[in-house]
Amino acid sequence: MLKKDKVRFIIEQLDKFYPTVNPPLDHSNNYTLLIAVLLSANSTDKSVNKVTPSLFKKANVPNKMIQLSYDELYSIIKPCGLGPAKAKNILALSHILVNNFKSEVPDSFQELEKLPGVGHKTASVVMSQAFGYPAFAVDTHVHRLMYRWGLSNGKSVLQTERDGKRLFPEEKWNKLHLQIIFYGREYCPARNFNPNSCPITSIVGRRSLFK
């Protein structure tokens, strides 16, 4: 199957499985989205959504966040993992937003990626979900499935992003990366994976997966 045929099939199937998608991280504004995405690094959305209600009740804007002590913030976000670094970065970036951006989350990749703890994937999610900017955010699920479907070589997330943007229409990126995440969790997990039981991989997947 040619890649263009794979792409068409994948888009059709994902639209059938997930005709509408909602961001999986609970948030109420651009700032809480940024913090939730930062917390999701090396964690699960479920874990993040358990801690953010109490966190955002105390601090849902940068001005309130910087009033928390490091110890208080760390005690709240500890279940998400990497607590020391995340607490430090959240406080640091919140100070930057207050001092340099009038407490607003910047709407550019360049400025977002300058913030402590904010990498390209986090910036991509924020640009996509907060500002509607076309972005193909690559997390572990997207990276895994793009390889299994023979659409990328799996060597790096940057290569996977480049391949995704090259193969899929730009107007599909924002919805598609969420569809792939949801599909990966439900049908194409990292462990105990049977390609024959996966509705998409069984059709377009790499032949090596079936050996």
Query: Does residue 15 sit in the same domain as residue 87?
Result: no
Region 127-151 average pLDDT = 97
Does residue 121 have an active-site annotation? Answer: yes
pLDDT at 131: 98
Share of the chain above pLDDT 90, in %: 97
Residue 211 has pLDDT above 90, yes or no: no
* Residue where a domain stops, chosen among 108, 131, 154: 131
- At 10-62, the pLDDT tens digits run 999 999 999 999 999 999 999 999 999 999 999 999 999 999 999 999 999 99
pLDDT at 50: 98
Q: What is the pTM of this model?
A: 0.94
Query: Which CATH number goes with the domain that contains 112?
Result: 1.10.340.30
Catalytic residue selected from 78, 121, 163, 211:
121
Q: What is the rounded distance in angstroms from the CA atom of residue 3 to the CA atom of residue 1?
A: 7
pLDDT at 1: 87
* Residue where a domain stops, chosen among 74, 108, 131: 131
Catalytic residue selected from 45, 86, 139, 163:
139
Query: Does residue 14 sit in the same domain as residue 46?
Result: no
Query: Does residue 83 sit in the same domain as residue 166?
Result: no
Region 103-122 average pLDDT = 98
Domain range spanning residue 118? 30-131
Does residue 165 have an active-site annotation? Answer: no
Domain count, the chain: 2
* Residue where a domain stops, chosen among 97, 113, 131: 131
Region 197-207 average pLDDT = 95
- At 148-190, the pLDDT tens digits run 999 999 999 999 999 999 999 999 999 999 999 999 999 999 9
Query: Which CATH number goes with the domain that contains 179?
Result: 1.10.1670.10
